Amino acid sequence: MSLFKGAGVALITPFNKDKSVNYDELGRIIDRQIEGKTDALIVCGTTGEPATMTEEEKLSVIEFAVKRTAGRIPVIAGTGANSTAAVIDFSKKVQKLGVDGFLIVTPFYNKATQGGLYEHYKTIAQSVELPIIIYNVPSRTGCNIQPQTAVKLAHDCKNIVGIKEASGNISQVAKLASLAEGTLDIYSGNDDQIIPILSLGGVGVISVLSNVVPQETHDMVTEYLNGNHRKALDIQLKYLDLINLLFCEVNPIPVKAAMNYMGFNVGGLRLPLTEIERQNGEKLKQELIKMSII
């Protein structure tokens, strides 16, 4: 069962000056995403800064997103942690809020073995009812789930339905697609690899770029899935420089800067993340001007 096909936005969390959550702006951003044909909202993923949010804040943001979306598109909540018990406890609370599924990152810092990763996800899957997308991003977690492990989980756990692949290793994604044979939905976790991963049988992207240009990111994936490969590739290449600038510093520093340049009141970041370096901010602003985004 696919949670979604197309472009899901890895949603930012806007803050007020005092770094509390700005719910007015969050609502505005969600409405813009839906108007821009975004195919799913991914809330409290990496881009939403959950690492510096309390559990109460995360539950509040997720609940707000569910209510604001009102069933128009799926809402997928990030519930990952490096403790299996903590993931289960939090996911059960989130499940009651009406989300459509979970995005669960591989446990960070612990550096679990492949056997440990299998048991981690299997135990979680057996404890919750909703569909799960595994999130593989070894550059952040120090942990890489191998294709064989991911596919075994999909075969053994009916509610493990997808994987967000942000390893950056196209050869690994190809191996994953070969082994999965359609049993596991593959989503690009890197905006500069959307078309390459779609070409290997991927069904979409969980995108930072979508915060800035939701319609165009949706169109890129939709055109590819509809067989218009050249048109989709043209969109990928058109936004490649912007994508690179959105990752010139650790995510979500640049994308929050971009949204502020665009006139949204998303505020700053919570420590230890800091504001974008002046020279990088200027390059990003000039690219947004060049692309007629601001």
Provide the token pair at 15: 């803050």
Give pLDDT tens digits for 114-172: 999 999 999 999 999 999 999 999 999 999 999 999 999 999 999 999 999 999 999 99
List pLDDT tens digits, range 173-208. 999 999 999 999 999 999 999 999 999 999 999 999
> Which residues are known to be catalytic?
135, 164
For residue 267 the two structure tokens come to 């505020």
Residue 2: its pLDDT value, please?
Answer: 87
Residue 1 has pLDDT above 80, yes or no: no
Q: Which of 243, 195, 254, 244 is nearest to 219 (CA)?
A: 195
Q: What is the mean pLDDT of residues 52-78?
A: 98
CA–CA separation, 50 and 43 (whole Å): 9
Mean per-residue pLDDT for 28-45? 98
Domain residue limits, the chain:
6-226
Rounded to the nearest integer, the mean pLDDT of the chain is: 98
Is the model's pLDDT at 36 over the cut of 90?
yes
CATH class of 6-226: alpha beta
Give the predicted TM-score (pTM) of the model.
0.97
Neighbouring C-alpha atoms within 13 Å toward the C-beta of 179: 16
How far is it, in rounded angstroms, from Cα 154 to Cα 162? 8
Q: What percent of the chain has a predicted confidence (pLDDT) above 70?
A: 100
